[in-house]
């Protein structure tokens, strides 16, 4: 049966065609749904595609019994309850790159317009005036531009500023000295950037840390006649503080495309200041950008529904299709190891420590951790857990997850090590890839093994004495259970050992109990991965 897609905000024809041409999808376009109507119909859909008009609230998401993905044509996700979606295992995707150029160009256009008094001069001309001296401007050449946030948009602004001969100070907590210099800019802390910049532009998300990032204290340490630009998010610049800084002559000009309240209240004092250039949130408002983000979100939703490929997800780490091809064997190994470990331990999980060793460190590790936790929770929660909500569910259950990494290569090029602590025991599992594609378990607790994590597996803890495998094999054989493969390991000669048998079918409880009661058997677990 085809997946059903609902487009509830206007998208370009090119974007709608991408979805409608896919024979595995049925597409409905309805841009006039009220919130109540959307809540009523959403239960029938596998995907929802929106712009900023539709509000995918908690109530609507909870009413969505089939929904697998929400696609937002744009960057901001204020209209989507991401936490509610994550708890239901719904992937939320946006289009972070689609409006990069349009927003960077708008920020730069605002900086130029402010520097050369273009809006004010245009208004004067249209009044029939000719006031050349009144609109004396300032060149960008040789000035210092402080850029707060060096993501895609901040980097594009920097490229344009360099072409104008500007000097750049850049602040970003993840920007290394080497990367900054490679981009032709100087890294700086925020105070230094505020003190030394002639122009300051912000390109960060709005978070608790960036809310009112620029306020009275920051304006106080800035140069006299500084100019500021905000085409990112309203609230990063404290508007009341900006008004005060303009009125006392500290700030020579400001260019704003975003506001703490949108649209701004008509009595907002910003609207009365001649030194400000204001636009109504036009950063992404180009025909090219709107088409690009629509096409991108349509392609992302289609690819996920048809092939399972996840891109641009905000509540699950994104994996480029080419990268996915390279890491897919590791993802499968990680999920299988998580499933094994969950079935091998007893008691309530308290802590999961995951260590990555060797060549695997060249990849982003977060998808592997998600895979491990999905595998670990699935034996208990089944279809209610997936790659999106596995971490949320684990944390809700008080499981402490710790990641560690080491470049020191041991006996294998790459290793994944999972150590689990419950209220009853501790257990560890080490896995790797053979020939870079075939998952293998190479150690269980203190015993080295060579086990294939596939299908039904019988794992026994036993004393290292002759005849154990024959003993187990006899019991399985008389009950019609075929052995497909086996591996053995021991801590020391004559000590504790582990036997792993790959078998072709389930094992009845009475047969497991017979094995468990056999001589020299400490314990037995039937697991399925």
Tokens for 479? 């009950």
DSSP 482: P
Residue with tokens 């700030």: 251
DSSP 287: H
Angle at 411 between CA 410 and CA 412, to 5 degrees: 95
Question: Quick check: 380 and 397 in contact, CB under 8 A?
Answer: no
Whether 233 is catalytic: yes
- How far apart are the C-alpha atoms of 259 and 6, rounded to whole Å? 31
The residue among 18, 19, 17 whose CA lies nearest residue 5 is 19
In order, the DSSP letters of 479-496 are TTPPEEEEEEEESSTTSE
Which listed residue (132, 178, 208, 262) is catalytic?
262
Tokens for 409? 């290569």
Partners of residue 439 on adjacent β-strands: 433
In order, the DSSP letters of 218-282 are HHHHSPTTEEEEE-S-TTSB-HHHHHHHHHTTSEEEEEES--SSSSPPTT-GGGG-TTEEE-SS-
The answer, yes or no, to whether the previous bond of 486 is cis (omega within 30 of 0) is no
Please classify residue 330 by burial: count the beta carbons closer than 10 Å to its beta carbon, then call 0-12 exposed, 13-18 middle and 19+ buried: buried
- How far apart are the C-alpha atoms of 385 and 374, rounded to whole Å? 6
- How far apart are the C-alpha atoms of 237 and 228, rounded to whole Å? 9
The residue among 202, 140, 208, 141 whose CA lies nearest residue 171 is 202
Residue with tokens 């000669």: 493
In order, the DSSP letters of 360-398 are GGGS-SHHHHHHHHHHHHHHHHGGG--TTTHHHHHHHTT
Tokens for 54? 């539709």
- How far apart are the C-alpha atoms of 11 and 72, rounded to whole Å? 11
H or E segment and range at residue 460 = strand 456-463
Residue 484, number of CB atoms within 10 A of its CB: 14
Which listed residue (179, 281, 355, 359) is catalytic?
281
Q: Give the torsion sign (CA, 164, 170, 176, 181).
A: positive
Which listed residue (72, 203, 233, 440) is catalytic?
233
Catalytic residues: 233, 262, 281
């Amino acid at each position: 049966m085809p997946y059903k897609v609902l487009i509830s905000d206007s998208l370009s024809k090119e974007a709608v065609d991408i979805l409608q041409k896919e024979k595995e999808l049925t597409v409905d376009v309805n841009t006039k749904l009220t919130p109540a109507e959307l809540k009523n119909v959403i239960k029938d859909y596998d995907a929802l595609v929106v712009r900023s008009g539709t509000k995918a609230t908690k109530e609507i998401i909870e009413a969505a019994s089939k929904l697998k993905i929400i696609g937002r044509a744009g960057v901001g996700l204020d209209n989507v309850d991401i936490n509610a979606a994550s708890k239901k295992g719904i992937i939320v995707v946006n289009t972070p790159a689609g409006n990069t150029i349009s927003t960077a160009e708008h920020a730069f256009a605002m900086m130029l317009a402010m520097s050369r008094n273009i809006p004010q001069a245009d208004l004067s001309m249209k009044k029939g005036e000719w006031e050349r001296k009144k609109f004396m401007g300032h060149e960008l050449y040789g000035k210092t531009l402080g850029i707060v946030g060096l993501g895609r948009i901040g980097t594009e602004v920097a490229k344009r500023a360099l072409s104008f001969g500007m000097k750049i100070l850049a602040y970003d907590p993840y920007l290394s000295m080497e990367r900054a210099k490679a981009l032709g800019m100087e890294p700086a802390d925020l105070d230094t950037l505020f003190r030394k910049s002639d122009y300051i532009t912000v390109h960060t998300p709005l978070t608790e840390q960036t809310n009112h990032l620029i306020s009275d204290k920051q304006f106080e340490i800035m140069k006299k006649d500084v100019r500021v630009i905000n085409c990112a998010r309203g609230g990063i610049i404290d508007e009341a503080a900006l008004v005060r800084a303009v009125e006392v002559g500290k700030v020579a000009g400001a260019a704003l495309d975003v506001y703490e309240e949108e649209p701004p209240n008509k009595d907002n004092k910003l609207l009365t200041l001649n030194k400000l250039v204001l636009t109504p949130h036009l950063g992404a408002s180009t025909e090219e950008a709107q088409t690009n983000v629509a096409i991108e979100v349509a392609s992302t939703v289609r690819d996920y529904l048809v092939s399972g490929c996840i891109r641009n997800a905000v509540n699950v780490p994104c994996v480029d299709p080419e990268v996915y091809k390279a890491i897919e064997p590791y993802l499968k190994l990680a999920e299988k190891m998580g499933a094994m470990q969950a079935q091998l331990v007893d008691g309530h999980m308290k802590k999961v420590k995951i260590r990555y060793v060797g060549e695997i460190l060249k990849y982003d590790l977060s998808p592997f951790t998600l895979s491990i936790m999905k595998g670990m929770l699935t034996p208990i929660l089944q279809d209610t857990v997936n790659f999106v909500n596995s971490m949320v569910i684990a944390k809700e259950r008080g499981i402490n997850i710790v990641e560690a990494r080491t470049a020191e290569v041991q006996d294998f090029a790459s290793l994944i090590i999972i150590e689990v602590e419950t209220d009853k025991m501790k257990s560890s599992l080490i896995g790797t890839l053979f020939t870079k594609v075939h998952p293998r378990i190479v150690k269980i607790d203190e015993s080295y093994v060579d086990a294939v994590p596939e299908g039904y597996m019988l794992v026994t803890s036993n004393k290292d004495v002759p005849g154990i495998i024959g003993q187990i094999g006899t019991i399985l054989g008389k009950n019609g259970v075929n052995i497909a493969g086996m591996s053995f390991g021991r801590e020391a000669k004559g000590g504790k050992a582990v036997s792993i048998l790959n078998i072709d079918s389930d094992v009845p409880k009475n047969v497991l109990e017979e094995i468990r009661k056999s001589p020299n058997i400490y314990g037995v677990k039937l697991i399925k991965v």
